């Protein structure tokens, strides 16, 4: 169970890094918001889901 939580945290860190770099670049680029809006919303939803799933799995570790 500990390995699963560690993998989930690793995925969360990786996705957080991608979003922290990608969202400001997308917003600063002219005309990119309309093209990348769905991708950013999807990435944010996956990030929120990973936070909840990681918390759920972490609650099972004693």
- Reported as a single tens digit per residue, the pLDDT across 4-61 is 999 999 999 999 999 999 999 998 988 888 888 999 999 999 999 999 999 999 999 8
The total number of structural domains that make up the chain? 1
Is-contact 1 60, C-beta < 8 A? yes
Which residue segment(s) compose the domain that 54 sits in? 2-27+36-58
Q: To which residue do tokens 């799995």 refer?
A: 57
CATH number at residue 52: 1.10.287
Cα 59 to Cα 2, 5, 8, 33, distances in angstroms: 11, 10, 13, 37
Is-contact 50 8, C-beta < 8 A? yes
Give kind and range of the element (H or E) at residue 60.
Answer: none
- Reported as a single tens digit per residue, the pLDDT across 18-27 is 999 999 999 8
pTM: 0.86
């Amino acid at each position: 169970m500990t390995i699963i939580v560690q993998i989930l945290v690793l995925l969360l860190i990786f996705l957080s890094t991608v979003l922290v770099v990608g969202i400001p670049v997308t917003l600063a680029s002219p005309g990119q918001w309309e093209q990348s809006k769905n991708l950013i919303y999807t990435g944010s939803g996956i990030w929120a889901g990973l936070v909840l799933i990681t918390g759920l799995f972490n609650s099972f570790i004693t």
